[in-house]
Chains A and B, each alone.
Chain A
Amino acid sequence: MNVPQWETMLREITGISGVRCALIVSADDGLVVAEAAMEGFETTDVAAFTASIISRMQRTAGAMHIAPPNRMHLTAEAGTLLAVAGSDPLWLVAVADPTAEQGRLRLLLGDLAGVLA
């Protein structure tokens, strides 16, 4: 998959009402690989925090003797952060309002992460 195809994919995600940004993150270093975001939204912060949470999730999963996590969903008062693993070390990430259709967003991220390479 090339960069224009990534951008098309990310725009499909931000096309869901309530999604503030969608990005592809390298979980190894917390850097943005590709992005589609509302004006002024700091995707670098999203990437860094997502990578940090993924690292902590992996350690927790190791302690529990379960398989490495491939999906994360953080729910907060004013929004949600979702991340789905693509091909290592890429993760597909979205930040959405509480009003966004979470089920649809979850499905779309899962479908698209599967072709992320």
Chain B
Amino acid sequence: MTDSIPVLPSTTQGLAFLDLGERLRQRGQFEAAATVALAGLVRYPALADAHDLLARIRADQGQDAPAIAAWRATLECEAGHVGALKGLAFIAFRSQDFVTAEQYLESAAAQAPHDPTILAALDRVRAAAPVRTTESYRLDDFASGLLLFDAQGMRLTGGIGPGTGEREADATAAEASGLTREADRAARFLGLGAWQQLILESANARVALVPLGSPATLLIRRPATTPPGRLLAASARAAEVSRAWLERGE
């Protein structure tokens, strides 16, 4: 009965198709490589490395949309998969979307801070990008790391950064609304007045929460390498953009 249940391969033999597919890809035999990768995915649909292999083949074939879809599937299987983040950065870079490329690479660097190839790629992206005077504040993009949610924990717009989607954004909105209620309660009860901002820091991210008045709160996520002062400046600017968005009633 267990034979009919797709499981992750646990043996060298089970993973052999990854090596074979990769060798074919490196030889430029893309169709054969894709056939191997797809056959492996039929058996192991939850294997992140198999989706990653397929994505690299599609990227080599110049098929950006299928490559992006495969790398997103990789991240669904394994959040923070470094290969997928690097791949998505590569596609963004190739289409000259340097802001998105940098965001994906910063996420990859947070997962693998000592990987010299990621740091070198970051340098290349930053050197290639035109000088930016302002940071990007797009509320309609999951990759922007800007999330608006209401007092009931319902997402209004935005997402929580590169490599994440609707599910993670909705879950974050639900949990963060409880956090904002607790911050509000603590500030008032401790005689600190109304709360204005809450920053939480972890080994791979810095997150700021800013109340925008009823009914919304802004969450902004940045890499752990972002200086605290820059996070504060970015959250202030993002709050302005968010208030304008709320006033327009989009």
How many B residues have CB within 8 A of the partner chain?
A: 37
Interface of B is mostly: mixed
User: Does B192 contact A61, Cβ atoms closer than 8 Å?
Assistant: no
Q: Which residues of chain A are near B168, meaning CB under 8 Å?
A: 63-65
**Could you say which of A52, A60, A79 has the most chain B C-beta atoms within 10 Å of its C-beta?**
A60
Given contacts A76-B187, A81-B186, contact A61 B193 (CB under 8 A): no
Q: Which residues of chain A are near B176, meaning CB under 8 Å?
A: 60, 63
A65 to B102, CA, bound (A): 20
Q: Which residues of chain A are near B221, meaning CB under 8 Å?
A: 64, 66
Q: Which residues of chain A are near B228, meaning CB under 8 Å?
A: 106
A50 to B171, CA, bound (A): 23
A79 to B199, CA, bound (A): 14
Q: Which residues of chain B are near A52, meaning CB under 8 Å?
A: 182, 186
Closest to A73 in B: B199
B183 is an interface residue with CB less than 8 A from chain A: yes
User: Does A46 contact B190, Cβ atoms closer than 8 Å?
Assistant: yes
Q: Which residues of chain A are near B199, meaning CB under 8 Å?
A: 71-75
Q: Which residues of chain A are near B172, meaning CB under 8 Å?
A: 60, 63-64
Q: Which residues of chain A are near B79, meaning CB under 8 Å?
A: 65
Q: Smallest distance from the beta carbon of B168 to chain A beta carbons, Å?
A: 6
A70 to B194, CA, bound (A): 24
Q: Which residues of chain A are near B80, meaning CB under 8 Å?
A: 65
Given contacts A60-B179, A65-B80, A75-B197, contact A81 B187 (CB under 8 A): yes
A63 to B191, CA, bound (A): 30
Q: Smallest distance from the beta carbon of B188 to chain A beta carbons, Å?
A: 8
B160 is an interface residue with CB less than 8 A from chain A: yes
In the A-B complex, the 8 residue pairs with the smallest Cβ-Cβ separation, listed nearest first, are A77-B193, A76-B192, A49-B186, A56-B179, A76-B187, A63-B171, A71-B201, A67-B203
Which residues of B are in contact with A by a Cβ distance under 8 Å?
Answer: 79-80, 160, 164, 168, 171-172, 174-176, 178-179, 182-183, 185-187, 189-205, 207, 221, 228
List 11 other contacts, CB 8 Å, given A69-B202, A76-B192.
A45-B190, A46-B190, A52-B182, A52-B186, A53-B183, A56-B175, A56-B182, A63-B175, A65-B79, A66-B202, A95-B190
29 pairs across A/B with beta carbons < 8 Å? A45-B190, A46-B190, A53-B179, A53-B182, A53-B198, A56-B175, A56-B179, A56-B182, A59-B179, A60-B176, A62-B175, A63-B175, A64-B164, A64-B221, A65-B80, A66-B207, A67-B202, A67-B203, A71-B199, A72-B199, A73-B197, A74-B198, A75-B195, A75-B196, A75-B198, A76-B187, A79-B193, A81-B186, A81-B190
